[in-house]
Amino acid sequence: MTPYVTITVNGVPHPVAADITLAAALLNIGVTAFRRDLDGLARGPVCGMGTCFECRVVVDGIANVRACLAPVRDGMSIESSA
C-alpha cells in the first residue's frame, strides 16, 4: 500500500504519493503550468534533473524551488501559475 501525504496546491489540498518529487506529484494531479515566463506563457518541467529551471514553483512562501529536486512532504504548500 502506497503511503500518502497531503500537499496544498494553490489553496486546494491534494493527497499524493509519498517519496516522489514535487514535480511528479504536481503532474500526477494535473498541474502542468508550474510558472509563467515574462510573456505570460505557461512553463513546466523539461529536464527532470535540475538543470533547466522550468519547474520552479513557490513552496511554503519560498520562490524558485525546483520541483523536480524537491521531495514531497506532508503539509507542503505550493503556488504555481496554473
Torsion of CA 30, 31, 32, 37, to 10 degrees: 170
Closest C-alpha among 70, 75, 74 to residue 56: 70
> Nearest to ligand FES by Cβ — which residue?
68
Nearest distance, CB of residue 28 and ligand FES, angstroms = 15
> Binding residues for ligand FES, per CB under 6 A?
45-48, 50-55, 66, 68
Between CA 31 and CA 82 the distance in angstroms is 7
Task: Identify which of residues 54 and 81 has a Cβ nearer to ligand FES in the complex.
Answer: 54
Find the shortest distance in angstroms from Cβ 1 to ligand FES: 29
